[in-house]
């Protein structure tokens, strides 16, 4: 172990009780994930009130996702260098201030700029919460419970978006979708200041600027190009150009980190830890499978079965509840059963559930066509997600907890973004083979192909699971 790693293993001072730290980290994760989905229901009202163009409106969603995923590596490293409490409070402050700006926006440009800033705040916040869990909950059972609760909070945030967004937009105004974050953020800042000790790693390192620029720009360009694939072909300049630039920048990032950086933003030594290397690779696969579940079942309910947005949110609620329950169960089982067993069981649920979903059609009923298989897939997500997050962030020096947390969050987000784009292209190509590609039957055929591909991702996760550490709960 180097002197840097030794310095990183200092004991974290404790202030607040464990339950308060748990509530703080879960509330932050809930808010960050909620804001990625809550806006969808409000888009028609925003379009009408602010006069967005049809091409500009998607950036109310994409702007947040772009900076959120693109800046998480940098946010994680900053948490290690400048302190977890400092970055968590900074992230909450930026998130709340940009939410206020978004809620008060009177022109499209201000709203999009606020959403970009909101995503950057989330990118500081998400890895900081993981670093807090990794360094505060050191006992393996407590750490497993913390990851289970944190994962469940994110899942509930993602699924609550349609219901909460619809209720706020209908009962108040779309502006309150953003403004509600301001008082919540203020409360969480107060909790963070009183419950978390002001700690640093003990190192006096400068931020790796070359790594920060190449890594952040590479991720942002890659994700931007992938997002453009919804409107352009994969070989078109708007897609291929940014994707190629992003990949080249990420190659440059790898070279800088391995050969030139004195204090790299992403130290290559971390990939010598099996859980970090394998866990993050599996999170890339998992992100695509999870996106197939939540995104494409939502489209199936709306475009094939004819549900409105609110009914779709209610229709997905049983799966969300199943996810929360199973994620908490996985937290209890992880220290005893180990990561391999839980991931293998979860991937089995993916294969069975997605295989069942692939048989759904325009005449399917909700109970037999959607409810049963989505409960199976949600159980698979509940078993797999907290387990992979725990495995991907385990066995690291305390001073690298934020960095590894940012890497794990980035892997999951990038896997979801790329998976969504590839699966959406496959669904569109399959639907186009039908006589009327916009009919419910044609759309159902496209979604069924997506579910079969997602079952394949489940098989891939199962195949890789033996490479995980044999037993590791915290």
The pLDDT tens digits for 122-153 are 989 888 888 888 778 877 778 778 877 887 88
Tally of structural domains, the chain:
3
Last residue of a domain, one of 218, 246, 264: 264
Q: Is 291 contained in some domain?
A: yes
Compute the average pLDDT of residues 242-253. 92
Mean pLDDT, all residues of the chain: 83
Q: Residue 297: is its pLDDT beyond 50?
A: yes
Last residue of a domain, one of 158, 179, 198: 198
Last residue of a domain, one of 243, 264, 285: 264
**Tens-digit pLDDT profile for residues 356-366:** 999 988 888 88
Structure tokens at 471: 């037993």
Parent domain of 225: 209-264
Q: Are residues 350 and 445 located together in one domain of the fold?
A: yes
Range with the poorest average pLDDT among 101-115, 231-245, 266-280, 303-317: 303-317
Please, are residues 129 and 88 in contact by the beta-carbon 8 Å criterion? yes
Distance CA 386, CA 326 (A): 10
pTM of the predicted protein model? 0.80
**Tens-digit pLDDT profile for residues 396-454:** 777 777 788 888 888 888 888 888 888 888 888 888 888 787 888 898 999 999 999 99
Q: Are residues 215 and 301 located together in one domain of the fold?
A: no
Q: Which residue has the tokens 């920060």?
A: 212
**Tens-digit pLDDT profile for residues 308-332:** 767 777 888 888 889 888 988 888 8
Q: Are residues 191 and 220 located together in one domain of the fold?
A: no
Compute the average pLDDT of residues 324-347. 88
Structure tokens at 103: 């809620």
Q: Are residues 330 and 275 located together in one domain of the fold?
A: yes
Share above pLDDT 70 across residues of the chain, in percent, rounded to a whole number:
92
Distance CA 128, CA 401 (A): 9
Q: Is 388 contained in some domain?
A: yes
- In three-state form (DSSP H/G/I as H, E/B as E, the rest C), the secondary structure along the chain is CCHHHHHHCCCCCCCCCHHHHHHHHHHHHHHHHHHHHCCHHHHHHHHHHHCCCCCCCCHHHHHHHHHHHHCHHHHHHHHHHHCHHHHHHHHHHHHHHHHHHHHCCCCHHHHHHHHHHHHHHHHHHHHHHHHHHHHHCCCHHHHHHHHHHHHHHHHHHHHHHHHHHHHHHHHCCCHHHHHCHHHHHHHHHHHHHHHCCCCCCCCCCCCCHHHHHHHHHHHHHHHHHHHHCCCCCCCCHHHHHHHHHHHHHHHHHHHHHHHHCCCCCCCHHHHHCHHHHHHHHHHHHHHHHHHHHHHHHHHHHHHHCCCCHHHHHHHHHHHHHHHHHHHHHHHHHHHHHCHHHHHHHHHHHHHHHHHHHCCCCCCCCHHHHHHHHHHHHHHHHHHHHHHHHHHHCCCCCHHHHHHHHHHHHHHHHHHHHHHHHHHHHHHHHHHCCCCCCCCHHHHHHHHHHHHHHHHHHHHHHHHHHHHCCCCCCC
The pLDDT value recorded for residue 311 is 79
Distance CA 32, CA 118 (A): 9
Share above pLDDT 90 across residues of the chain, in percent, rounded to a whole number:
23
Q: Are residues 351 and 441 located together in one domain of the fold?
A: yes
Q: Are residues 191 and 224 located together in one domain of the fold?
A: no
Distance CA 305, CA 46 (A): 26
Q: Are residues 31 and 161 located together in one domain of the fold?
A: yes
What confidence tier does 251 reach under pLDDT thresholds 50, 70, 90?
very high
Q: Is 369 contained in some domain?
A: yes
Distance CA 29, CA 150 (A): 7
What confidence tier does 471 reach under pLDDT thresholds 50, 70, 90?
low
Structure tokens at 354: 């997605």
Q: What is the CATH number of the domain that holds 463?
A: 1.20.1250.20
Q: Is 334 contained in some domain?
A: yes
Q: Are residues 378 and 292 located together in one domain of the fold?
A: yes
Compute the average pLDDT of residues 283-306. 85
Q: Is 11 contained in some domain?
A: no
Q: Are residues 350 and 368 located together in one domain of the fold?
A: yes
**Tens-digit pLDDT profile for residues 20-59:** 888 898 899 888 888 877 777 777 788 888 888 766 777 8
Distance CA 162, CA 298 (A): 10
Distance CA 332, CA 15 (A): 25
> 258 Cβ partners below 8 Å, 6+ apart?
264, 268
| 449 or 154: which leads in pLDDT | 449
Q: Are residues 224 and 135 located together in one domain of the fold?
A: no
Q: At what angle do helices 84-103 and 18-37 cross, to 10 degrees?
A: 40
Q: Is 4 contained in some domain?
A: no
The pLDDT value recorded for residue 11 is 45
Q: Are residues 81 and 137 located together in one domain of the fold?
A: yes
Q: Residue 305: is its pLDDT beyond 50?
A: yes
**Tens-digit pLDDT profile for residues 188-240:** 999 988 888 766 554 566 777 888 888 888 888 888 888 888 778 888 998 89
Q: Is 7 contained in some domain?
A: no
Burial string for 257-280 (b: 16+ CB within 10 Å, else e) reads beeebeebbbbebbeebbbbebbb
What confidence tier does 473 reach under pLDDT thresholds 50, 70, 90?
very low
Q: Is 8 contained in some domain?
A: no
Q: Are residues 260 and 274 located together in one domain of the fold?
A: no
The pLDDT value recorded for residue 280 is 87
| 120 or 54: which leads in pLDDT | 120
């Amino acid at each position: 172990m180097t002197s840097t790693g030794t310095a990183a293993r200092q004991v974290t001072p404790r202030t607040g009780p464990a339950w308060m730290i748990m509530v703080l980290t879960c509330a932050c994760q809930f808010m960050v994930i909620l804001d990625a989905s809550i806006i969808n229901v409000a888009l028609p009202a925003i379009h009408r009130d602010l006069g967005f163009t049809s091409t500009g409106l998607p950036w109310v969603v994409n702007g947040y996702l772009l900076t959120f995923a693109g800046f998480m590596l940098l946010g994680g490293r900053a948490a290690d260098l400048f302190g977890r409490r400092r970055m968590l409070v900074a992230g909450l402050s930026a998130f709340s201030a940009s939410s206020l700006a978004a809620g008060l926006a009177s022109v499209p440009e201000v709203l999009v700029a606020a959403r970009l800033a909101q995503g950057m705040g989330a990118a500081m916040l998400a890895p900081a919460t993981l670093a807090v869990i990794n360094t505060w909950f050191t006992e393996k059972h407590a750490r497993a419970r913390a990851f289970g609760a944190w994962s469940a909070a994110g899942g509930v945030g993602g699924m609550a978006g349609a219901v909460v967004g619809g209720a706020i937009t209908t009962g108040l105004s779309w502006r309150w979708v953003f403004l509600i974050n301001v008082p919540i953020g203020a409360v969480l800042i107060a909790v963070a200041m009183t419950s978390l000790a002001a700690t640093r790693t003990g190192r006096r390192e400068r931020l790796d600027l070359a790594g920060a620029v190449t890594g952040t720009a590479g991720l942002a360009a890659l994700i931007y190009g992938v997002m453009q694939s919804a409107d352009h072909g994969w070989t078109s300049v708007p897609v291929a150009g940014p994707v190629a630039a992003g990949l080249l920048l990420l190659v440059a990032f790898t070279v800088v980190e391995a050969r030139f950086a004195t204090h790299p933003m992403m130290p290559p030594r971390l990939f010598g830890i099996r859980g970090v290397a394998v866990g993050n690779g599996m999170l890339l696969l998992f992100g695509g499978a999870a996106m197939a579940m939540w995104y494409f079942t939502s489209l199936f309910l709306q475009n094939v079965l004819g549900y409105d947005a609110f009914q779709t949110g209610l229709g997905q609620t049983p799966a969300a509840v199943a996810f929360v329950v199973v994620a908490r169960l996985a937290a209890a089982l992880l220290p005893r059963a180990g990561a391999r067993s839980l991931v293998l069981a979860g991937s089995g649920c993916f294969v069975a559930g997605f295989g069942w979903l692939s048989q759904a059609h325009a005449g399917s009923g909700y109970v037999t066509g959607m409810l049963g298989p989505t409960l199976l897939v949600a159980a698979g997500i509940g078993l797999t997600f907290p387990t992979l997050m725990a495995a991907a962030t385990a066995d690291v020096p305390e001073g690298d907890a934020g960095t590894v947390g940012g890497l794990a969050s980035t892997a999951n987000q990038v896997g979801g973004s790329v998976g969504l784009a590839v699966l959406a292209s496959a669904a569109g190509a399959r639907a186009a083979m039908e006589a009327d590609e916009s009919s419910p039957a044609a759309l159902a055929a496209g979604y069924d192909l997506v579910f079969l591909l997602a079952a394949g991702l489940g098989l891939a996760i199962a195949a890789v699971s033996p490479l995980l550490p044999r037993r590791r709960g915290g």
